[in-house]
């Protein structure tokens, strides 16, 4: 049953906003919070009703587990048994845009729906100062998927959040645009070996440099990260990729200096970090302005791998199963 519509509060990025957000969360309500990746739809990860509300507000399938956001490293070791490689990655990249999937510990206290009933859990310490202050004020783990309706483009501003979820969540803590702009990279472990489950805000090369070895390729036949289903991040408009020569009716999104006539650019200088930051905002804007979108080629290196992953899924044929 959909919950009745209610006005969504827009909370300021100050003490009052954080205190209000924490008290709503303690009451089992949902609050969208800024993180350095994208806005997350936060709810108390220990409260089964709050977690059920997250799935309902997003229209997210119950088989798609949520990332649990934490304030401190000690919180992670209470919830999960981190393998040594995970501890090394956490020491290097936390707080930051990296999620680690590890076996649950007995007495973890999370609502079972958070992990979709799996015996593993996805954990992250976000770096955004407001997310950290909110986690501290709340004093517990927050389950927080991206704050968008399932299958739609992820939100990198408070306005994106309200465009998708207004009336379905209690509040949005407005922290301005997100710095990284792509979801976290997700790393799982098969025995001692690390596996990249989702490309994201930390590049594969940076992870490999810390591990001192190559990441295992993900076994494509096995969906261990259910959010990896094909159609995801879908705009309303039709999307064509790797376009150097757009058709007259296409809204062309450029990358790099060689895209004269592009309506918008991910990065005019060809900077991949800037393109990542701008990706979802540019897609949101293009989607409101055109029915056909064409995107210039983005190199498949560094953050370009995650950018191309999101673009390919935004362009994929829309299936009935969506996983955002």
User: 96 vs 254, which CB is nearer to ligand AMP?
Assistant: 96
Phi, psi of 236 (to 5 degrees): -70, -40
User: 44 vs 183, which CB is nearer to Mg ion?
Assistant: 183
User: 20 vs 310, which CB is nearer to Mg ion?
Assistant: 310
C-alpha span between 95 and 127 (Å, rounded): 5
Span from 74-82, 86-94, 146-154, 268-276 in contact with Mg ion (CB under 5 A)? 146-154
> Does residue 175 belong to the site contacting ligand AMP (CB under 6 A)?
no
Both tokens assigned to 140: 């517990």
Helix segments in the chain, DSSP class H: 15-26, 48-58, 73-79, 84-93, 129-138, 158-165, 204-211, 272-289, 304-315
C-alpha span between 56 and 169 (Å, rounded): 10
Q: Which residues pair with 101 in a beta bridge?
A: 122
Residue for token digits 């673009």? 311
Which partner in Mg ion, ligand AMP, none is near 118 (CB below 5 to 8 A by kind)? ligand AMP
Q: How far is the CB of 52 from Mg ion (least distance, A)?
A: 18
User: 216 vs 224, which CB is nearer to ligand AMP?
Assistant: 224
Q: Which of 231, 235, 232, 230 is nearest to 284 (CA)?
A: 235
Residue in 197, 262, 290, 303 binding ligand AMP, rule: CB under 6 A:
197
Q: How far is the CB of 99 from ligand AMP (least distance, A)?
A: 6
Span from 10-18, 66-74, 211-219, 316-324 in contact with Mg ion (CB under 5 A)? 316-324
Residue in 17, 34, 43, 65 binding ligand AMP, rule: CB under 6 A:
65
User: 67 vs 104, which CB is nearer to Mg ion?
Assistant: 67
C-alpha span between 39 and 172 (Å, rounded): 9
Cβ atoms within 10 Å, residue 272? 20
Both tokens assigned to 157: 């501003």
Both tokens assigned to 210: 């810390």
Which positions touch ligand AMP (CB under 6 A)?
A: 64-67, 101, 115, 118, 120-122, 145-146, 183, 186, 188, 197-198, 224-228, 323-324
Which positions touch Mg ion (CB under 5 A)?
A: 146, 324
């Amino acid at each position: 049953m959909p919950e009745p519509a209610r006005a969504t509060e827009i909370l300021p990025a100050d003490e009052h906003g954080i205190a209000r957000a924490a008290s709503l969360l303690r009451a089992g309500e949902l609050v969208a919070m800024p993180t350095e990746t994208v806005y997350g739809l936060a709810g108390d990860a220990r409260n089964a009703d709050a977690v059920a509300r997250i799935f309902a507000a997003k229209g997210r399938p119950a088989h798609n587990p949520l990332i649990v956001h934490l304030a401190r490293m000690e919180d992670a070791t209470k919830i999960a048994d981190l393998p040594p490689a995970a501890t090394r990655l956490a020491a290097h990249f936390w707080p930051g845009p990296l999620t680690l999937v590890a076996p649950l510990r007995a007495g973890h206290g999370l609502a079972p729906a958070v992990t979709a009933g799996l015996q593993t859990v996805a954990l992250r310490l976000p770096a955004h100062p407001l997310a950290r202050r909110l986690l501290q004020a709340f004093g517990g783990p927050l389950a927080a998927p991206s704050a968008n309706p399932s299958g739609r483009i992820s939100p990198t501003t408070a306005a994106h959040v309200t465009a998708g979820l207004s009336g379905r969540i209690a509040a949005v803590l407005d922290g301005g645009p997100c710095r990284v702009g792509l979801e976290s990279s997700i790393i799982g472990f098969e025995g001692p070996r690390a596996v990249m489950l989702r490309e994201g805000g930390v590049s594969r090369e940076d992870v490999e440099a810390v591990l001192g070895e190559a990441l295992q390729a993900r076994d494509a036949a096995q969906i261990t990260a259910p959010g990896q289903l094909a159609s995801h991040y879908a705009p309303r408009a039709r999307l064509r990729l790797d376009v150097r020569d757009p058709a007259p009716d296409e809204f062309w999104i450029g990358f790099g200096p060689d895209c004269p006539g592009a309506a918008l650019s991910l990065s005019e200088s060809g900077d991949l970090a800037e393109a990542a930051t701008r990706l979802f905002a540019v897609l949101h804007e293009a989607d409101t302005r055109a029915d056909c979108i064409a995107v210039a080629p983005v190199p498949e290196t560094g953050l370009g791998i995650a950018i191309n992953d999101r673009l390919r899924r935004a362009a994929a044929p829309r299936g009935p199963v969506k996983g955002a």
